[in-house]
Amino acid sequence: MHERAGTPALPEDLIDVDAVVGAYYDRVPDVDDPAQQVVFGTSGHRGSSLDGAFNEAHIIAITAAIVEYRRSQGTDGPLFIGRDTHALSEPAWRTALEVLAAADVDVHVDARDGFTPTPAVSHAILLHNGAGTAQGVRTGGTGVGSTGGTGLADGIVVTPSHNPPRDGGFKYNPPHGGPAGSDATGWIAARANELMRQGVGSIRRVPFERAVAAPTTHRHDFLSAYVDDLPTVLDIDLIRASGVRIGADPLGGAAVHYWGEIAERHGLDLTVVNPEVDPRWSFMTLDWDGKIRMDCSSPSAMASLVQAMAGRDADGTTPFDVATGNDADADRHGIVTPDAGLMNPNHYLAVAIDYLYGGARPGWSQTAAIGKTLVSSALIDRVAAAHGRDLLEVPVGFKWFVPGLLDGTVGFGGEESAGASFLRHDGTVWSTDKDGILLALLASEITARTGSSPSQLHARLVERHGESWYARVDAPATREQKSALAALRPEQVTATTLAGEEITARLTEAPGNGASIGGLKVTTPNAWFAARPSGTEDVYKVYAESFVSAEHLAEVQSAAQELVTRTLAG
């Protein structure tokens, strides 16, 4: 932990916006430097203009590659494009629109010239493609779940999510509305790098003023379409009737105008705690490492909201019954309660699942599974078993939940990093990307219906299923070691015990879909760990959980690193 973690940012912590934007236009990336090439992670291409990793050349090339890709897939409907509040998002959005207009792509931009959360883009794509509506999901060669077809829409979100203010990001969502899979992102990245080597000057563009006025550029009211549709997925009437007091902090992100509209249109007792938008994020408290980061799952980044929630009025009451935060593109959620402060993301996921599958959604199929990433808490496994539901355990990445959410075979999909979505009341798809606004409002519905806070409900789950201790740590690794870890096979793990318990499973593929996890997971009767190489740093990540004690968790973490080191050494 940095010595100033959780304290307000100082002037020396802030970016020079002019320098960041200037570098976007002025700096030419070195295409022979891997750090300056286009690389799509689980959430798109990210980087800083100051490092030559997110510059105009990148966006020209990526957008041109997306144009080629969508045509190769037969995707010939509109492309919905949104952006968040990062300093680099508007310049990249303008560049992308210049390329899209020159390619005669029908583009739908925000009708208010404002910011657009990731879930609102996913929602727009799905609605256009006939998902989650009365006509149902189109199927077959032109279906929303297919690679393309006549009139199908796709989308782009210009955001680096919760990354620091100096960064930019660019995500592609195909017609299924969720994060693009590696088949798409791998092709797009390779083609973009090829285009950069050839020189992006040959790629057709039109000046922005012409692009925004082009007959192929249309205005779309993302906000109204999303906000007005919320009663199909949440019990808004219950939240309103209960009078539950909600505090919503957009953390300076794309949800800033959405929260005010949600309060007004649905008559909720909802206060936007901080409506300020500042590309420097001067109002933030520093994250664990001393950086400004809009991570709504981090106690350090959420310190201001946690402190506000801890305050008491003259009568001893807190200002809100539940408070929430979102990251910059609002695909993640943070839940703050009066009795516990900021909830651990795993704890809230378990509570949300227990609530939704405990009778709150009678319109869902009785066979709808529960989706979780394999590095999420095993408390979810126990909750799923208690409700007699199948558990779909998948690798890290929300893309793995997309097929199940589309066809209703998965009612809820959630990640340990505070990202999730779930079905509408009638069992049809709402979004196939993470929706932080949805999960934040669910906390209010839970409070309204049960009369208890989500953290109090977690305590009851612990009484029934046992208390656990969960953490993630990083361990150093060379590039060769990371490659070896990603390619491990179960039989290479010869150990029979872990932290004093018998090993019950050695996994290199996810139980839910057989996909490679890009690492290793080892389980025992009361603990587990998973090790995955980082895609950006020379470390590997060790996730671990123990249902025994905090001390046992430390033993599991230490034993995990020893086991991985020994296994990689052969």
Active-site residues: which are they?
161
- Do the Cβ atoms of 336 and 246 come closer than 8 Å? no
- In contact, 87 and 17? CB cutoff 8 Å: yes
Q: Answer yes or no: are the C-beta atoms of 384 and 352 closer than 8 Å.
A: no
CB 200 within 8 A of CB 61: yes
Other C-beta atoms within 10 Å of 362: how many?
8
Spatial separation of the C-alpha atoms in residues 257 and 224, rounded to whole Å: 11
- Tell me the C-alpha to C-alpha distance, in Å, between residue 178 and each of 65, 125, 536: 19, 9, 23
> What beta strand segments (E) does 338-384 contain?
341-342, 369-373
Nearest C-alpha neighbor of 71 from the set 101, 103, 43, 40: 103
Strands 246-249 and 270-272: parallel
Q: How far apart are CA 434 and CA 404, in angstroms?
A: 14
Under DSSP, is residue 92 helix (H, G, I), strand (E, B) or coil? helix
Report d(CA 171, CA 54) in Å as an integer.
Answer: 13
Query: Does an H or E element contain 239, and which?
Result: helix 236-242
Can you tell me the distance from the alpha carbon of 147 to that of 230, in angstroms, rounded to the nearest whole number? 28
Residue pair 73/38 in contact (Cβ under 8 Å)? The answer is no
Quick one: which of 417, 395, 414 has its CA closest to 486?
395
Place of tokens 């006025």: 213
Tokens of 295: 């991570």
- Report the distance separating Cα 107 and Cα 109, nearest Å: 6
- H or E stretch at 279: none
The DSSP call for residue 144 is T
User: What is the bridge-based pairing of β-strands 527-533 and 539-546?
Assistant: antiparallel
Q: Which residues pair with 432 in a beta bridge?
A: none
Q: CA-CA distance, 376 to 414, in Å (whole number)?
A: 8
Helix (H, G, I), strand (E, B) or coil at 188: helix
Amino acid at the residue 108: H
Residue-level length of the chain: 570
Sheet holding 391-394, edge to edge: 391-394, 369-373, 410-415, 419-422
The H or E element containing residue 411 is strand 410-415
